[in-house]
Structure 1
Amino acid sequence: MGIVSRDAIQHFQALIDEVDEPLQSTFKNMHQGYPTETLVRFLKGRDWNVAKAHKMLVDCLNWRIQNEIDNILAKPIIPTDLYRAVRDSQLIGLSGYSKEGLPVFAVGVGLSTFDKASVHYYVQSHIQINEYRDGVVLPLATKKYGRYIGTCVKVLDMTGLKLSALSQIKLLTIISTIDDLNYPEKTDTYYIANAPYIFSACWKVVKPLLQERTRRKVQVLQGGGRDELLKIMDYASLPHFCRREGSGSSRHSGNGTTDDCFSLDHAFHQQLYNHIKQKALTLESVAPVKQGSFHVDMPESDPEGSEIAKTIESELHKLEDQNGLSNSIDALKINGD
């Protein structure tokens, strides 16, 4: 770490030391005993500009306080049938760990429908997984591997991605903005698996809009990417949709729910939900747990995020128009025959 970096961290630390309660308490809860590493994440998120990183972190701390994020793991999505519906339509899970000890999160981008609950439930669920990752999964990995582990890798399955994904852009932009502003630099690498043409077309136009540090994190795999992923993780940690040779792996290409890390019956989701229920019990003596989603302030996307979302939407519309024209031509050919 260079002199400039050390100076930036020291300056940033001095500024954060001056913030009052309750910001100090929520910062302590957030950094989990690693304040310097947390400051570095926010500095990276603002290209080492101390003033911008300071504003970003203070805004994050205020967001956490205003939305009671420190207690979100005590707010279960109930009843269980509703939570199962959320899990069946917002596909994410922990499949294992890389050889370096980084948690491997699998995300079913193409087959997530986000159509079984309101936006607030999906946002609540996403933040709960973030908080469980930061408060439980990463500290356990740090203890197990004997060194600080503060990031994860994500494997994004594009199987089933269709033009109808256009309807999900608003929700995905909200979730992405929450991550960018409040959980910066938490993902080491994004691996894209089973990418269809629609992804490739969007990626070509979106890639130039991304910052260099973000572009470097994205690796598009050949097909399911099994052989490439086995270089960084053992077979047991491969997401189920990457285990088959070649491309086109489906959601259920594992051996049942024990392998399908998206399933509520998978060990990760059972542990997460049990953790949330136990947390909720500690608060029930103060106030009974109410049914209904836990509303979180929806952040406005930054200009870069808005431009990317608009670009994706525009590209999908173009593909939709081309697809419609292609279908019309096919219909004319059939009628002509």
Structure 2
Amino acid sequence: MEFHSASRQNGTNVDYISDADRVKIVSMRHVIEKEDPASKVADDATLRRFLYARESNVQNASELYLKYSKWRQTFVPHGYISETVITNELKKNLACMQGFDKEGRPIAVVILNRHKPCYNALEELKRYFVYSFDKMSSSTSREQEKFAIIADLEGWSYKHVDIRGYLAILEILQSYYPERLGKLYIIHLPYIFWAAWNMVYPFIDKRTREKVVLVEKKDIRTTLLNDIDESQLPEIYGGDLPLVPIQDAVVPNVPPN
């Protein structure tokens, strides 16, 4: 399935930057370019995401961006994650991506019963989610920078619980993709979910917590249709779109030339 910018509507125009934000972005540039000359390639919209993630505190936002830049240079040295280094994870079809919500955010579905913890494969799992977050981010537009995720726990049991993996993915999302998550729906909650949730919850920052929606089974369709048109909703939730494994979703300029 190919993603086209014409499908994205109702997003916030990131081309508009207030005078107050622009002053702070200029200050950020002075800080980060002094420490990392390669940061000159960062555009204003990117720096604003880091600024918002740190409550408009220039110093904290600069530190977060420099952490991101250093990580990106070491973890993604070629600019993208090659599918050849995540073949085991790709076989699981853990993440799928298709459609857009009513705010123009691309939608990803993560089917968690397709993952089981394997401690010697944590690095590949991390690379798989960087690959996925990159692809989801690239399917956004200048008018809407965020994506939405449906985390489906149907059939999820003790054998699927991977706290170490969840915390690693959460760290990547919060530190290296700030202000990319628009909403996270967690659905089909089994009883054992709450034990795992209580372990992970303290590591979720305030801004991310505000985007998490825990959905009871009886409310899944109503909740999703409130934010997603039926034409853009996956078939498994009563919509019109088939699930498309994320590696099969065609996004312009992914991988980059």
- TM bracket, shorter-chain basis: 0.7 to 0.9
- For the pair 1:229 / 2:224, whether they are aligned, the reply is yes
The percent of aligned pairs where both chains have the same amino acid is 22
How many residue pairs end up in the alignment? 239
Structure 1 equivalent of residue 159 of structure 2: 164
- For the pair 1:14 / 2:26, whether they are aligned, the reply is no
Deviations 1:185-239 (A, max 9, x none): 2101111111111224544676577443222111112317112111211223223
Q: How do 1:255-294 and structure 2 match up within 5 A?
A: 259-262=242-245, 267-268=248-249, 271=250, 275-276=254-255
Specify the SS of the correspondent of 1:110.
helix
**TM-superposed deviation, 1:102:** 0.7
Alignment check: 8 A CA contact 2:116 2:159 kept: no
Query: For the structure 1 residues 123 and 94, does the alpha-carbon distance in structure 2 shift closer, same or farther, using more than 3 Å as the test?
Result: same
Deviations 1:2-21 (A, max 9, x none): 88656533422433454553
Query: For the structure 1 residues 88 and 20, does the alpha-carbon distance in structure 2 shift closer, same or farther, using more than 3 Å as the test?
Result: closer
Structure 1 equivalent of residue 209 of structure 2: 215
Structure 2 equivalent of residue 45 of structure 1: 53
Query: For the structure 1 residues 172 and 202, does the alpha-carbon distance in structure 2 shift closer, same or farther, using more than 3 Å as the test?
Result: closer
Query: For the structure 1 residues 116 and 239, does the alpha-carbon distance in structure 2 shift closer, same or farther, using more than 3 Å as the test?
Result: farther
Greater percentage in helix: 1
Query: For the structure 1 residues 217 and 93, does the alpha-carbon distance in structure 2 shift closer, same or farther, using more than 3 Å as the test?
Result: same
Bigger drift between 106-115 and 173-182 goes to 106-115
Match of 2:44 among 36, 49, 72: 36
Deviations 1:15-74 (A, max 9, x none): 34545533434x3xxxxxxx222222212322332212111111211222233444324x
Query: For the structure 1 residues 220 and 208, does the alpha-carbon distance in structure 2 shift closer, same or farther, using more than 3 Å as the test?
Result: same
- For the pair 1:54 / 2:62, whether they are aligned, the reply is yes
- The one of the two structures with greater contact order (alpha-carbon pairs below 8 A, sep at least 6) is 2
Alignment check: 8 A CA contact 2:151 2:187 kept: yes
**TM-superposed deviation, 1:180:** 1.8
Structure 1 equivalent of residue 3 of structure 2: none
Specify the SS of the correspondent of 1:89.
coil
Bigger drift between 8-17 and 201-210 goes to 201-210
Mapped to 2, the partners of 1:194 and 1:232 lie a distance apart of: 18
- For the pair 1:175 / 2:169, whether they are aligned, the reply is yes
Task: List alignment gaps of at least 5 residues for structure 2.
Answer: 1-16
Mapped to 2, the partners of 1:132 and 1:211 lie a distance apart of: 23
Alignment check: 8 A CA contact 1:92 1:108 kept: yes
Mapped to 1, the partners of 2:187 and 2:119 lie a distance apart of: 25
Query: For the structure 1 residues 227 and 131, does the alpha-carbon distance in structure 2 shift closer, same or farther, using more than 3 Å as the test?
Result: same
**TM-superposed deviation, 1:110:** 3.5
Query: For the structure 1 residues 156 and 20, does the alpha-carbon distance in structure 2 shift closer, same or farther, using more than 3 Å as the test?
Result: closer
Specify the SS of the correspondent of 1:93.
strand
Structure 1 equivalent of residue 179 of structure 2: 185
Match of 2:83 among 63, 76, 80: 76
**TM-superposed deviation, 1:96:** 0.8
Task: List alignment gaps of at least 5 residues for structure 1.
Answer: 28-34, 245-253, 283-337
Query: For the structure 1 residues 18 and 172, does the alpha-carbon distance in structure 2 shift closer, same or farther, using more than 3 Å as the test?
Result: same
> What is the CA RMSD across the aligned residues, in angstroms?
3.3
Mapped to 2, the partners of 1:226 and 1:20 lie a distance apart of: 47
Bigger drift between 12-21 and 230-239 goes to 12-21
Mapped to 1, the partners of 2:202 and 2:89 lie a distance apart of: 33
Mapped to 2, the partners of 1:71 and 1:231 lie a distance apart of: 36
Query: For the structure 1 residues 114 and 241, does the alpha-carbon distance in structure 2 shift closer, same or farther, using more than 3 Å as the test?
Result: farther
